[in-house]
A and B are shown apart, each in its own frame.
Chain A
């Protein structure tokens, strides 16, 4: 296996997953704004139209409702559509088609019709995208019954999870943290960006492989506290933990729904302390669900209240991005608070 690996950044890994699935399964089709000839604004589909043809990889009108709605119809026909929504911030016009249609098709028709559609979308901030190119709307989707929600944090995971998502017979939202497309992010915006090539998870098998949905990854084993996180924040958390010289256990949730509650329970019962970190806004964020689950399942093992580190409950600001972002200072403060008692 190692012999067939190649150093890839996250975009290349996603491109490779799409390429392989187009090759393996004639039912897979890609569509979205600017994804065809041009290869996507983030280049995730570069070269795929030329290789697989216009009927398999094509540009769409600027209509997220139309993209998702047509995807549902294609899925009803028997295809396996993989639409791209150019930014997660643009997904809202397609929300009814996702929430009321894609997510409910299997249930409402008792399996007569299913929707094996994977909606890819770059998400999260840290790229000076302002309030319309930085959002993390994952908790809108984890709240919907019938959709799986995935957030990868590395090239290796992105490829394996995307292949598993495309092969899954239920609709999947696949949020790609765009801040880490080209390299893991330490949380220090004023330091040089480290490329993926220096990171172990950039060694990506060139061929087909899957990472099972619903399984968290243990990024770092430890005894002192459990940190539950995903996406860009996996890397920021690692930086802070290293700086503090803390023996923390870091769980990269990878799939938010269905959630790997076993891994969470096991870890928190071991460490007795828990911090939840995500970039999305705080109130009713996915962290609230995680904190509630940990409280319900691990209360008698807890030695300190569960803390949440999140973005603030404001729109993502442009110029004050780094005051908004849940960076090392916010994370370190929360860890100090948890570790105090």
Chain B
């Protein structure tokens, strides 16, 4: 070895490792859970430099006894709370049903959002319905909250004859402009600069709509994330940039994305963006943070960066087994609990809900999803022939089909004839 300095220990490369692996007993006693209102709610017009401590605290509303407290309490009425609970329960029921459909071989892929429902449902409820959402792949709760037809989501998951995306996209990569929901990309964090560009356009037009974007903590390592943060700060764009820190990026724990060094929220500080760290399993805290950020954006006080501290209860997708890389029962031991359970207990505490009502709603939503699933399956499931017409493969590459795609389309039709006989007709 050359370059050895006499009395220095050799350099060491640090490879972060999670505290617990399969076979270990997970213990989260070192995860700090500060009391409610340990970080008070500042004025929406605050300068980022004056509220930097919010990036290191934890915005909370529901305390350990399920009471809503403190300056961040959004004081929602019981109807709104029940609606929030319903939307989260619907998301969970939908996830459970579609996960099972994948396991039954009816589609190729599914991704659940279990444990993270608050980060899409409560955020969507805090936004105006026409604020533009640029989701990652785990925000199905936005669509369910905004009333997007469940059957359309299922048609997309099955890539069936009624899939309005014509069977082109991997399941769950929805697109819903009627719900101000951008087409989901499989490439990570690409939506970040796009959301900023959308917000810049809205601002340049003197519009009133703002945009909101979601990504996971793992994706914050992408260049797109940092480009977006720079643009958002430079142009004071009316955008809410959110990181759902669910601790795991497939099999890589948050330390592989830099989480050992500081909070993810703290990344916003270097850009001069107001940054919040929020209990992502507290639906009221998530709602309050989003509302605060939306008010800022709408009043030309600029972008807000939010980290939701949460936990991915299930695998990344149907394609991985979390038992192969993390300790069992981590979610049960997660110190911030389960958002559905917490809101349920809060409503019960208020005298506005009961175990019986909860069970009845759970069953009703399961029935609704099951009934809708039958409806969707009548339009076909993946790989069973009821797909979109063959020619649609070549449509929408361009507005008008150029000659080379027309030629290739004719070739593909010819191949079908050779496969299925001269009587075969394209459908």
Contacts and interface: CB of A to CB of B under 8 A. Distances in A.
Contacts of B228: 66, 69
A107 B401 CA distance: 12
Contacts of A139: none
B175 A108 contact: yes
A72 interface: yes
B166 interface: yes
Contacts of A56: 204
Interface in B218-237: 223-224, 227-228, 230-231, 234
B194 interface: yes
Nearest to A255: B402
A113 B177 contact: yes
B183 A109 contact: yes
Interface stretch (A98-106, A120-128, A244-252, A316-324): A98-106
Interface stretch (A76-84, A234-242, A306-314): A76-84
Interface in A48-95: 55-56, 60-61, 63, 65-66, 68-79, 81, 93
Contact of B402 (A73, A101, A214): A214
A79 B134 CA distance: 17
A97 B193 contact: yes
B168 interface: yes
A205 B204 CA distance: 31
A133 interface: no
A93 B226 CA distance: 12
In this complex, the interface size class of chain A, counting residues with CB under 8 Å from chain B, is: 35 or more
Interface stretch (B184-192, B287-295, B306-314, B335-343): B184-192
Interface string B375-408: 0000000000000000000001111001110000
Contacts of B187: 96, 100-101
A34 B197 CA distance: 18
B396 A97 contact: no
B192 A69 contact: yes
B284 interface: no
B195 interface: yes
A148 B405 CA distance: 13
Contacts of B403: 258, 261-262
Contacts of B182: 76, 113
B223 A93 contact: yes
Contacts of A148: 398
Interface of A: 29, 55-56, 60-61, 63, 65-66, 68-79, 81, 93, 96-97, 100-101, 105-114, 145-146, 148, 168-170, 214, 257-259, 261-262
Given A75-B197, A261-B404, 7 more contacts: A65-B223, A69-B224, A69-B228, A77-B201, A108-B183, A109-B165, A113-B182
